[in-house]
Structure formats: C-alpha cells, structure tokens
A = this chain, B = another copy of it.
Amino acid sequence: MDELKKACLDIKSLKIQGATNVAKYAVKTLKDFAYRHKELQFDELWNKIEEGIDLIYDSRDTEPAMRNGLEFIHRKLKLTHEEEGKSIDIAEEVGKYSERYLQLLMESKTKIAKIGANRIPNKGDPQDFTIFTHCHSSSVTGILLEAWRQKKRFNVICTETRPKYQGRITAKELIDEGIPTKMVVDSAMRWAVRTHDIKMIITGADAITSEGTVLNKIGSRLLALVCREMHIPYYVATPLLKFNPDTAFGILEKIDMRSWKEVWPEKPKPLNILNPAFETVSRRYIDGLITEAGIFPATIVFDMFYHTYPFYKNKK
C-alpha cells in the first residue's frame, strides 16, 4: 500500500502535470499495484483493488480524465466478475482494462487532431488565415500540426501565458514545424484579436461539467469575452473523457490556487498575490467542442458523453 500512497502523493503534489499524464500515471499505478499483489486470494485482492482505486481517486480535487479511467476499470472489473465469477485473474483484468482505457484516451487525441484539422480551410498564403490560442494544450497543437502536415497553410498567434509561460511551449512546438507564429503578452489579447483578423480561437480544457462549462487555464474566460465581443468562433479541443459526471449531481469543480512564488518571488511582504490556475468558461461563449465524437455545442456534452461512452451510464 505504501508505494501506492507514495504515487498518490506524487499526483497530489503536482509532480505529475497535464491531465493525460496524470491519467496515465494513475492507471499505471493501479496496474502495478494489482500485479504486485497478484498472488493474494480473490476476495482479499478485490478489496485491496477497490481500496486502491478510492485512494488514487481522491488524490486530487478534480481530474476527470484520471477519475473516468479508474471508474472505467472498476466497472469493467465488476462486470467481468458478475459474468464469470471468481475464476477471473484480477491483476490480469486490471492490466487489460488499464491498457484499454489508455488506448481510448490516445485514440481520442488522434481523432481530435483529424476532426479539428478538417475545420481549418486551406488558404495558399499562411497570412490569410490566423488562429489564436492561449496557454499550451496538446489537443490544440495536435490539430495545428495535423493540419500543417496536410499542407494546409495558416499562421498562429499565442499568448505568453503568465505566470508559467506555457505559451512559450506552444510557440516552440509550432515554430519547430515551420508554422508562422506570433506571440503577445496576455493583456494584449483583445488588441491582437481586434487588429489581426483572427478567424478562429482554440484552447484546450481541464474539465467539462454537465452544464457544458469548461474549466481551463486562467485567462480563458477573458479570451472568451473577447471572442464574443468580436464574434469570432471559440473552439475547445478536448477528449470527452475530461467530462466530470459528478457535476451532474451538483458537485462543483474546484479552482486550484497556486503559490505567489510563481508570480513575484521578491514581492513585498504585505502584498497578497492571488494566483488562480484555472477559470471557468460558460457554454454560452463556446462555439463548439472538438472531441473524438465530433464537433458539437458544449450544451449537449452531457448527452454526448453517455452516447459515446455508454458504460458510464447510471452512475450514482
């Protein structure tokens, strides 16, 4: 149990970053844990696994891709058990479903890149189509790189994304592939959108709620306001597996507050620095979610999640 607890601590302490990485790490942790205890008799191992799932589940306030992974494995395990009784090899089953979930997650990324790239038209001149993005999202860069590979030509403007400068990661990834890229400070987002004839804005997501609200990097809601003001389409590229089913039952997503040290390490002592990691974007500001199940309004995400992943139905 100790190694599992240590792994949970790694997750809790933000050592592992990015929703997909956390999900991978969590699922692998569970698999390793199951194999380590492979020799235990059925009932004992079963209980241990359920306990382990709960521990990992609670290691972060919100992390839907991870939680949906654990839920997936748990449900599949119970189903197999119901059908085949105690003859099953629990560790093998955990291993199998862990793999399957990761595969689902990876496939969703590939589909999103394809579907999103379809939405980008092919103008001969890269200057004739400008896309704006904020922060760094592998779903977003996946789309942009896929479109570029398809020989579509466009240019990108990104923000620097204080305090951690994730915009620089985005810029580097695009620049490395030869995509013409511009950068502005965060507070210039309205100016950039106003003056550069932006055709499309895409960001990623950290979580999605049953109301169609998207949780994403601080500044996303501000950017949404700019999009709405200028009537520019705002797309959110994200696996549906980031949908948080608990929100349907009234549970609110938590907003992580990070350390002031990220913002101003030498700040005067009495100064209070507020450093929220995320903010929420209402469905009203989102033109479409680009997901593995297609492009659709965020408003219907509750429906689409259960259509796409019917094994999650009847939760609670």
Contact = CB atoms under 8 A, between A and B. Distances in A.
Interface of A: 114-119, 121, 134, 157, 159-163, 168, 171-172, 175, 180-192, 194, 197, 210-212, 218-219, 221-222, 225-226, 229-231, 247-252, 263-264, 267-268, 270-276, 279, 282-284, 287-288, 290, 294-297, 299-300, 302-304, 307
B184 A274 contact: yes
B252 A182 contact: no
Contacts of A181: 270-272
Contacts of A300: 299-300, 302-303
Contacts of A212: 297
Given A182-B274, A300-B302, A302-B294, A249 B219 contact: no
Nearest to A298: B297
Given A175-B270, A183-B274, A185-B275, 10 more contacts: A117-B250, A160-B263, A162-B162, A171-B267, A181-B271, A187-B222, A191-B218, A191-B276, A210-B288, A250-B290
Counting chain B CB atoms within 10 Å of each CB, which of A187, A276, A288, A303 scores highest?
Answer: A187
A302 to B, nearest CB: 5
Q: Tell me if A's interface is mostly helix, strand, loop or mixed.
A: mixed
A182 B273 contact: yes
Counting chain B CB atoms within 10 Å of each CB, which of A185, A284, A290 scores highest?
Answer: A185
A221 B188 CA distance: 9
